[in-house]
Amino acid sequence: MTGVTTAAARYAGTRVPRVEDARLLTGHGTFVDDVVRPGMLHACFVRSPLARARILGVDAAEALAVDGVQAVFTAADLNPDVREQWYTLIGKDVPDTPRPPLAEGEVRFAGDPVAMVVATDRYVAEDAAELVAVDYEPLPPVVDYATAGESGELVHAGYPGNVAGEFPGAPFEEVEPVFAEAPVVVRHTIRQQACGQVPIETRGMIAEWSAPTGELTIWAATQSPHEVRLFCSRLLGLPEQRVRVVMRDTGGGFGQKVIPQREDMCVMLAARKVPGPLKWIEDRRENLQSAGMSRHAHGDVRIALGDDGAILAAALDYVEDVGAYPAPWPVGTSAAVGMFFPGPYRVPKAAWATTSVFSNTCGRTAYRGPWQFESLARELLLDAAAREMGLDPAELRRRNLLRRDELPYTNPCGIPYDGISPLKTFEQALEMLGYEAFRREQERARAEGRYLGVGTCTYVEPTSAAVGLHATEGATIRIEPSGKVNVYVSGGSSGNSIETTVVQLTADALGVDIADVNTVQGDTAVTPFGGGAAGSRSGSMTAGAVAETATVLRDRIAAIAAHRLEASPGDIELDGGRARVRGVPEAGVSLAEIASAAYFQPESLPPGVPAGLEASGRYRPEHPLIYANATHLCTCEVDVVTGAVTLLRYIVSEDCGPMINPNVVEGQIAGGVVQGIGNALCEHLAYDAEGNPVATTFMDYLLPTAAGIPDIEYGHIETPSPGPGGYKGVGEGGAIGAPPAVANAVADALAPFGAEITRLPLTPETVVALARAADGR
Amino acid sequence: MADITVRMRVNGGPRSATVPPRLTLADFLRERCGLTGTHLGCEHGVCGACTVLLDGQAVRACLVFAVQADGAEVTTVEGIASPAGELSPVQEAFRDHHGLQCGFCTPGFVVSVTAFLRDNPDPTDEQIRDGLSGNLCRCTGYQGILKAVRAAARRRQAGRP
Amino acid sequence: MKPPSFEYHLPGGVEEAVGLLAELGEDAKPIAGGQSLVPMLALRLAAPEHLVDLRRLDGLRGVEERDGTVRIGAGTTQAAVQRSAEVARSVPLMARATPLIGHFQIRNRGTVGGSLAHADAAAEYPAVALALDARLEAVSPRGARTIPAGAFFTGLWSTALAEDELLTAVDFPVRRGRSGFAIEEFARRGGDFAIAGAAVAVELDGAGLVRRCGIGLFGLGSTPLRAPAAEAAATGSALTGIDASELGRTALAELDSVPADLHASADHRAHVGAAIVARAWRRAAEEAAHG
């Protein structure tokens, strides 16, 4: 690496308008359902209406007789074609849980795909799906994961006690003496309900098989086109270069679209058996019953404190529902719940264990901050401890939050925090609120019979985890012969503005105008391999990839320019689309001239400089994780008669390092926060006692609307990470901080009633019950 | 079931097709007119992603059958910007205030807000929130959208187009 | 999530429409705005073989005030009701109920007649019709008849309308004297069906005593309901002598089967319902007392 630099960054750190917007605002985006292929056929799944039953037979005769129906596939048709089935994301060598494309022998949740109807249009496919007669022998379902261990029934044979896996973590014995002797011990069982990711675009895929060339082309709603390609090539036994995956616009993912699921497998497997391209667009009911459950868990959580409020130890025994068919294997991921449970606090000792339990419900899938139970449990417990000790919860936290001068700090679970600022974000959030003034207002309101509350959550979050699928990220930059720039990265944007980010970073890295940079993403045929949009990694990893690649080109540009300008390459700087001699601004040569020379007059290049202006680079982080942190603070008023919770103010003070684009950062925070508010107050992917899903429409699965949420206020603290540009991930945190902040605010409002909140969601009914129980009404 | 011929004006141009009665207006626009900007997010009238103007009024295109729109004037999101691609004031405001992320719900918001501000040129914040509450967004937390609508309303009041 | 097939009919007048309904029988459903019916079709909860589209029945649209009555055509959209100065002036309860229905995009299509005939127990208009003693006009091949709102809602999603009968208009009494009106509801989110709601109409006599009290409840039974005991308790009393909370409890004490679902148990609905009746009463009484 040489010292060739660009002038000061013009775009990073600014609110650059998004390059994605022009097409999306005018209805010219390309989402998977917008793709139409000649002769395209449409799939519809026949799904189990029962939580658990033996499949005695499937009779498709009547469905096949419907005009326009091409095929009806069952497990016997598709499942035997599976060659290898595993996710690059998790790796091959884990004790993965079962995942058949179509249900084989037994259905294991209401919504389990049993057969796939292929017809000339979706209307006809749905008609025919109603006519597929499946003979079920009902079996007793295991609906409640929390009691699944005692159930005599098994979701999957071979998993005694319905345990999908356990992660032993750090042994409880080691903390028992601390708990035994601590002046204060607070212990609760905290429960979180099942929620869905609920992107407004459902899942979908088109698979087009070309028998003559042996090529399969897939258009997918995905966060990771390269994972789809790798998975598909293994599934079908096709060479990777014979599979092409294309995505342009994906309508939200939030984890649901990080990996292909069972229905996607069916589309891939069926593609070679039907006479045309096969499209499957999931409908909303399918999405809510089958696309993935998350969050559903409980934990027996304890903290021990000294008389001065210092935390002495923390312990978490965590049990999560993984449904019938989790994807991917959930056990490894659950470890993060334990390892981050101590959070950004000074916790000398901790113990934890996790257990993943099957049930006859929708499978667990990744959702924005999949480990967020650690924050929910810890922050609820800290407020409970403050109430018990008669301390202000802010004061209790101040005494325990890590200070800058204590870093680096390795938490008791072995996580080496650095580059974080938890106490600073906490103080900033309190100051933005005017915490003391709020407490006075709260006092006055209580005197009038109005119940106000304030709650916070401070967390530290792992971002940009560089392992396996996500270990590296590549970029190819082509400065075209005209001097204009194309930058190719793997993509997988489902709303994270990664096109804009890449264009900003590339324009800065090459010192060119942003309008001269275009980015190509999401097509495995032309983009470098990359892990996609997941794990709050896109910003940091792509910044690394662009920097790595741009360095090569900058050096080349400098060499060519220096040769032409008779200067030393080390004196060349790039700015405004020109290479010039530092300190001699009038001596310069345009990028267009350099490109022209590089492509058309290779003989004019200095010795040893390759022709062309195109480079590929791959970023390999030195740090396996980058830590980000934030404090969320929320105030609310609770109507103790109806149970309505009105959020008054919502403040986020976060530290994601320098911001590449503050609009994007704040947009990610806001989106996560409102999902978290929904998780706290209204969303519930609920089942009845028989295992029937009861929230399968948007009339029952309640997403927050613009009418029910406050304006979000942002505070920024900037502690650079050790990664490229000092950037950190920011995609998931919003969804982590909001549920505890909201729950603590409600608990604070209800403190006069002696209420303790240990269970989400805080429906109006729950809130009224909390107030009434203590009130004796 | 007998197919029926429908004729309507879509984004100013005549369109006719023979359709099964059960074809929704949303599918008619997407499949028969190639106007894929009208998105389907729930198909039961809650999410608002399929909102179009039907004779000038914002409606859920998933809750109208194409045959019911026979003879009507339909404006989709593709008809909001100028033919040359110049964004409307509402679209500009969404761009300027980060009013969209994945963009899937965006066409429904753009169409709804266009009708809302036409009918409520000087909305209070509560009216804006109420006006937006029939469209679901999962990416933005509505923050950028609220800012965009406030800005577009201010711009209307300032007399700029 | 695509609707099942159906045959489409587009009658040009009421007579033709009811003729079709008579001829097609139970396999036919009339469709007006379709804002309740089309979701049911999309979810395949209903699969009528014939849909009779009422959109060409222009005579069913409009608001007309005559002889102390405001007649709202069944085909009038909720948006048109919201815009109507006559409704705002003469039937304020309808005007106040309308913005609570769904969202503005829904109200642009949804009709007064559709909402009443769909008879959702958690919807606003049926409760308003009850509270105001509205009179519903229905036409069949046998002619026209008037059905008092109190006799219209017969069960879960069912009404007094015969298969071949079409709701054509609703008559509301014009407000008079010292009167007050309020509608209150509690829903999980704005625009959702109410967990509990109440529409209250109160009218005072010259002496300031309650001459008439109408309370329509929604979300609290298998049909929209009146609260006769509460109404009786209020009638004849001075406003100052009526305890709103007590009135709310009286209204809810009359109910025998309050529904339960994902969003609220029966107990919670009843608890909130009593509070909502009280809140609506307070606002209506306030208006009656002070104008």
Domain residue ranges of chain B, discontinuous segments joined by +: 4-79, 89-157
The CA distance from A501 to A492, in Å, is 13
Q: Which residues contact C176 (CB under 8 A, 6 or more apart)?
A: C68, C203
Q: What is the pLDDT of residue A445?
A: 98
**A705 to B139: CB separation less than 8 angstroms, yes or no:** no
Distance of CA A279 to the CA centre of its chain: 25
Q: What is the pLDDT of residue A775?
A: 56
Q: What is the pLDDT of residue A286?
A: 98
Q: Å from C152 to nearest chain B CA?
A: 27
Six-digit token string for A769: 């019950």
Nearest to C193 by CA among C263, C281, C137: C263
Give A16-50 as a DSSP string: PPPTTHHHHHTT----GGG---TT-EEEEEEE-SS
Amino acid in position A753: F
pLDDT 10s digits, C243-259: 999 999 999 999 989 99
Total residue length of chain A? 777
Residues of C with CB under 8 A from a CB of A: 1-5, 43-44, 186, 188-193, 195, 262-265, 268, 271-272, 275-276
Percent of chain A scoring above 70 in pLDDT: 99
- What phi and psi values does residue C165 have, to the nearest 5 degrees? -110, 140
Six-digit token string for B41: 């997010």
Collect the ranges in chain B with pLDDT lower than 50: none
Residues C80 and C157 in one domain: yes
What letter does residue A301 receive in the DSSP assignment?
E
Question: What stretches of chain C show up as alpha helix (H) in DSSP?
Answer: 14-24, 37-42, 78-83, 85-90, 92-97, 104-107, 112-118, 124-131, 149-152, 228-234, 244-253, 266-290
Predicted confidence band of residue A774 (pLDDT cuts 50, 70, 90): low
Pairing outcome for strands B13-19 and A485-489: unpaired
Residue in A123, A644, A697 nearest the CB of C186? A644
**B136 to A705: CB separation less than 8 angstroms, yes or no:** yes
**C1 to B43: CB separation less than 8 angstroms, yes or no:** yes
Give A692-724 as a DSSP string: -BS--STTTS----GGG-PPEEEEE-----SSG
Nearest to A168 by CA among A409, A345, A335, A386: A335
Q: What is the pLDDT of residue B160?
A: 60
Contact yes or no for A473/A531 (Cβ under 8 A) = yes
pLDDT 10s digits, A83-141: 999 999 999 999 999 999 999 999 999 999 999 999 999 999 999 999 999 999 999 99
pLDDT 10s digits, A615-655: 999 999 999 999 999 999 999 999 999 999 999 999 999 99
Question: What stretches of A418-537 show up as alpha helix (H) in DSSP?
Answer: 422-433, 435-447, 498-510
The CA distance from A615 to A486, in Å, is 11
Residue in A27, A493, A672 nearest the CB of B35? A27
* pTM greater than the 0.95 cutoff: yes
Minimum CA–CA partner of A130 in chain C: C44
Q: Which residues contact A18 (CB under 8 A, 6 or more apart)?
A: A497, A499, A500, A663, A664, B95, B98, B100
Which of A585-594, A668-677, C79-88, C137-146 is the least confident region?
Answer: A585-594
The CA distance from A220 to A203, in Å, is 8
The per-type count for chain A, helices as H runs and strands as E runs, is: 19, 29
Nearest to B24 by CA among A126, C16, C129: A126
End-to-end C-alpha distance for chain C, whole angstroms? 50
Establish, for the pair of chains A and B, how many residue pairs have beta carbons separated by less than 8 Å: 181
Q: Which CATH superfamily is domain B4-79 in?
A: Beta-grasp domain (3.10.20.30)
Query: Residue A62 pLDDT more than 50?
Result: yes
- Please report whether residue C184 resides in a domain: yes
Six-digit token string for B100: 């969209």
Contact yes or no for A36/A118 (Cβ under 8 A) = no
Contact yes or no for A588/A598 (Cβ under 8 A) = no
From C173, C204, C221, the end of a domain falls on C173
Residue in B44, B76, B145 nearest the CB of A284? B44
From C52, C72, C88, the end of a domain falls on C52
Between CA C240 and CA C246, with CA C242 as vertex, the angle to 5 degrees is 145
Amino acid in position A697: T
Residue with tokens 């000092």: A726
CATH of the domain at C239: 3.30.390.50
End-to-end C-alpha distance for chain B, whole angstroms? 47
A126 touching C, CB under 8 A? Answer: yes
Residues C67 and C94 in one domain: yes
Residues C201 and C164 in one domain: no
pLDDT 10s digits, A285-320: 999 999 999 999 999 999 999 999 999 999 999 999
Q: What is the pLDDT of residue A777?
A: 43
B73 touching C, CB under 8 A? Answer: no
Greatest distance between any 2 Cα atoms in chain B: 53
**B105 to A667: CB separation less than 8 angstroms, yes or no:** no
Q: What is the pLDDT of residue C192?
A: 87
The CA distance from A565 to A131, in Å, is 77
pLDDT 10s digits, A176-210: 999 999 999 999 999 999 999 999 999 999 999 99
Domain count, chain C: 3
Q: What is the pLDDT of residue A587?
A: 84
- Round the CA-based radius of gyration of chain B to a whole number and report it: 16
Residues C191 and C270 in one domain: yes
Nearest to C17 by CA among C170, C169, C164: C164
| 3-state SS assignment for residue A386 | helix
Q: Which residues contact A711 (CB under 8 A, 6 or more apart)?
A: A649, A650, B143, B146
Q: Is A83 exposed, middle or buried (0-12, 13-18, 19+ CB in 10 A)?
A: exposed
Q: Which CATH superfamily is domain B89-157 in?
A: [2Fe-2S]-binding domain (1.10.150.120)
- Please report whether residue C183 resides in a domain: yes
Q: Å from A633 to nearest chain B CA?
A: 16
Contacts of B49 in chain A (CB under 8 A): 200
Give A628-689 as a DSSP string: EEEEEEEEEEE-TTT--EEEEEEEEEEE-SS-S-HHHHHHHHHHHHHHHHHHHHT----B-T
Amino acid in position B47: C
Residues C199 and C134 in one domain: no
Q: What is the pLDDT of residue A763?
A: 97
| 3-state SS assignment for residue A244 | strand
Domains of chain A are 5-16+472-619 (3.30.365.10), 416-468+623-777 (3.30.365.10)
pLDDT 10s digits, A344-384: 999 999 999 999 999 999 999 999 999 999 999 999 999 99
Q: What is the pLDDT of residue A772?
A: 86
Residue in C1, C3, C195 nearest the CB of A285? C1
Six-digit token string for C157: 């999603």
Contacts of A642 in chain C (CB under 8 A): 186, 272, 275-276
Contact yes or no for A453/A393 (Cβ under 8 A) = no
Amino acid in position B49: A
Query: Residue A422 pLDDT more than 50?
Result: yes
Mean residue pLDDT across chain A: 96
pLDDT 10s digits, C102-143: 999 999 999 999 999 999 999 999 999 999 999 999 999 999
The CA distance from C152 to A30, in Å, is 50
Q: C82: domain range?
A: 62-173
Predicted confidence band of residue C212 (pLDDT cuts 50, 70, 90): very high
Q: Å from B50 to nearest chain C CA?
A: 11
CATH of the domain at C16: 3.30.43.10
- Please report whether residue C57 resides in a domain: no
Q: What is the dihedral of CA C169, C170, C171, C173, to 10 degrees?
A: -160
Six-digit token string for C248: 């709310």
What ipTM does this complex have? Answer: 0.98
Q: Å from C1 to nearest chain A CA?
A: 6
Q: Is B119 exposed, middle or buried (0-12, 13-18, 19+ CB in 10 A)?
A: middle
Q: Å from C90 to nearest chain A CA?
A: 30
Residues C223 and C192 in one domain: yes
Q: Is A332 exposed, middle or buried (0-12, 13-18, 19+ CB in 10 A)?
A: middle
Contact yes or no for C210/C219 (Cβ under 8 A) = no
pLDDT 10s digits, B136-160: 999 999 999 999 999 999 998 887 6
Residues C36 and C69 in one domain: no
Percent of chain C scoring above 70 in pLDDT: 100
